[in-house]
Amino acid sequence: MDILSIIVPCYNEEEMLPITFESLRNKLSDLISKGKISPDSFLLFVDDGSKDKTWELIENENKIHKEVRGLKLAGNVGHQFALTAGLNFAKDICDMSISIDADLQDDIEVFDEMVDLYHEGNDIVYGVRNKRKTDTFFKRFTAQSFYKLMNFFGAKTIYNHADFRLMSKRALEQFYKYKEENLYIRGIVPLIGYKTACVYYDRKVRVAGESKYPLKKMLALAIEGITSFSVKPIRYIILLGVISVFLSMAALIYALISFIFLTVEPGWTSLIVSIWFLGGVQLISIGLIGEYIGKIYMEVKGRPRYNIDKYIE
Ligand code: UDP
Ligand code: MG
C-alpha cells in the first residue's frame, strides 16, 4: 500500500501545534483504517528556524507518537524554502505527499478525496478554495489582485490555490529538479505537467497564533512570483519605448505646424522632438538589453526542459 507523508512547515507555531498534532494524527489514522494509505504513513513537521518552543513540541510529540517526524532547519529560510526542504526530503521515503500549513486553515477533510484522486491516477491534486468569506476584506482583496497580476505578467497559476496539494512520488522527483534560487512553488508545480485534478473546500480562520505572512512578506512573494516566471516586465519597457518614438513623430508634426503658423521660441522645435525621440530610443535599447538578461536569467535557472510521462515498448 502507498505511504502518505503530510508535510507541515512551521514557523513560531507553538500556540497552534498542539491542535495541529491532534487533528492531523486523527486524520492519518482515519485514512489508514479506511485502507486508503499504508500504516507506515507519517507526518513530517519542518521547523523553519522557529524562535519559540516549536521544535521542543515536535520532539515531544515524536517521542509519544511514532508517526510524527520532524525536520529542523538551521535557520529561518521562509515558507517556500521550508516547504521545499520537506518535499525534497520526503520524496525518497513516501509514495505521495500532502503539504499543508500548520494553522490548518485548509480543510483536512478533503485528504480523502485527494488520496482517492491519486489512486485514480492523478499525480498532482490541487486544493482550491471555494470562497474567501473568512478572510478579512484586506486579505481577500490583496490576494485576488495578486492572482490577477500574476496572470497578467504571464506566470500560470491555479486560481485560489495556495500550497495545499497532493503530489505523487514522481511529481516530487520532478519538482526536485527545479533547483532555482528564486522560488515560487505555485508557479513551478503546473510546469511539471502530469495528470492533475482539483478538490474544493472552504478556507477557515486561523484558530491560534497569528499570520506569519504580513503584507511585507506577501508583497515579496508577489514580486518573486512575477519576476521568477516571466520577462514580460522587460517587454513592457520596449513597448513604452516604441510608444515614445511614435509620440516623437506626433511631436514633430505638432512642432512643425507651430513653427510655421505660430511664433515659437527658436530651438523649441528641435528640442521637443529630440527629447521624445531619444527617450524612446533609450527605452527600446534598455528593453533590448533586458531581453538578453532575461534570457540569461531563465538559462541560469537550469530548469528541466521536459518531463517524460510514460514509456512503452
Ligand atoms: N511559515 C514558515 N516560515 C516562515 C513563515 C511562515 O514555515 O518564515 C509557515 C507557517 O508556520 C505556516 C505557513 O508557513 O505553516 C503559512 O503561514 P501563515 O499561515 O502565517 O500564512 P497565511 O495563511 O496568513 O498566508
Ligand atoms: Mg495561514
User: SS3 string of 78-124?
Assistant: CHHHHHHHHHHHHCCCCCEEEECCCCCCCCHHHHHHHHHHHHCCCCE
Domain extent for 128: 4-230
Given a cut of 80, whether residue 44 has pLDDT beyond it is yes
What pLDDT sits at residue 147? 77
47 in contact with ligand 1, CB cutoff 6 A? no
Q: Ligand 1: does its nearest atom lie under 6 Å from the Cβ of 86?
A: no
Q: Are residues 29 and 75 in the same domain?
A: yes
Q: Is 312 a member of any domain?
A: no
Cβ contacts of residue 200 below 8 Å, gap of 6+? 110, 128, 129, 130
| Among 19, 57, 79, residue to substitute to test ligand 1 (most atoms within 8 Å of Cβ) | 79
Q: How many domains does the chain have?
A: 2
- The pTM of the full predicted model, rounded to 2 decimals, is 0.82
Q: Are residues 207 and 255 in the same domain?
A: no
- Ligand 1 atom nearest the C-alpha of 48 is 7
Residues 111 and 242 in one domain: no
138, 194: one domain: yes
Q: What is the mean pLDDT of residues 267-285?
A: 86
Same domain, 181 and 242: no
State the pLDDT confidence band at 106, using cuts at 50, 70 and 90: very high
Give the per-residue pLDDT at 133: 65
Query: Which bin fits 10, alpha (ψ -120 to 50), beta or left (φ > 0)?
Result: beta
Residue from 6, 7, 11, 183 to probe ligand 1 pocket by mutation (most atoms less than 8 Å from CB): 11
Ligand 1 atom with the shortest distance to the CA of 212:
20
Q: What is the CATH number of the domain that holds 221?
A: 3.90.550.10
115 and 87 in one domain? yes
Place of cell 486523527: 26
Query: What per-residue confidence (pLDDT) applies to 142?
Result: 78
Domain end point (choices 205, 230, 255): 230
Question: Do 286 and 260 share a structural domain?
Answer: yes
Residue 310 vs residue 295, higher pLDDT: 295
Looking at every residue in the chain, the average pLDDT score rounds to 89
Lowest average pLDDT, out of 12-21, 99-108, 137-146, goes to: 137-146
Ligand 1 pocket check for 79: Cβ under 6 Å? yes
Look at residue 191 and tell me whether its pLDDT is greater than 80.
yes
Ligand 1 contacts CB of residue 48 (under 6 A) = yes
Asked if the structure places residue 46 within a domain, the reply is yes
**Judgement on whether residues 111 and 189 belong to the same structural domain of the protein:** yes
Grade residue 122 by pLDDT with cuts at 50, 70 and 90: very high
- Measured from the Cα of 76, ligand 1's closest atom is 8
Q: Give me the mean pLDDT over the 176-205 stretch.
A: 90
